[in-house]
Amino acid sequence: MTRLTRSQVQDRNRETVLGVARDAFLRDGYVATSLASVAKEAGFTTGIVYSSFGSKADLALGVLERLQAEQIGALGDRVAGALAAGDVLDQVRAWAAEAMSSGWVRFELELLLDTMNDPRLAAAQTQRQTASIQQAVAVVRSLVPPDAMDDETLEVLAEAAVDYAIGLAMRQSVNPDATPERFLRLIEPLVAGLTPGPHG
């Protein structure tokens, strides 16, 4: 059996910590999860976790970066095969319900409140939000016929969708009855106009 290099061991440890931390953050939230508990669950010393990430916030950002890409990618996969406006909105509803119940929202909000006064971490959060808008642009672009909308309009729509999702998530954190239904009804004519049928 080939012996792993130091770098390979570090990469393996990092991946293990990210996986364990993801489960813990989604299950228990950011505030209730400690690096010590993540290290214990991963079978490592706390020092190994610190050497890989430096702080709980840095570990959380690493988890969220992947989680965000996965969630928006899942939304893109859901709407990719939906051609009628109603089908698209049904897929958005299903995705939103799963995302909101996953623990992602609480995790995001708790981390945001904990890092907003740290310039370095706040900048990292801003960079991640910018990336989420670009990922959302790709989803919106997949819904519209080629050349039906310019890049600036696509970005404005995607940014509005991200901003709305953040606002709804904040509302749902205190009011579980808050839903995206009114917003989806509002945009249904727009979606219908953009998705008249199959296009390539």
Q: Is the pLDDT of residue 107 over 80?
A: yes
Q: Is the pLDDT of residue 160 over 70?
A: yes
Distance CA 22, CA 67 (A): 8
Q: pLDDT per residue over 110-153, tens digit each?
A: 999 999 899 999 999 899 889 988 998 888 888 777 777 888 98
Q: pLDDT per residue over 34-85, tens digit each?
A: 999 999 999 999 998 998 898 999 999 999 999 999 999 998 888 887 766 6
pLDDT given at position 62 = 94
Q: pLDDT per residue over 84-104, tens digit each?
A: 667 888 888 888 888 888 888
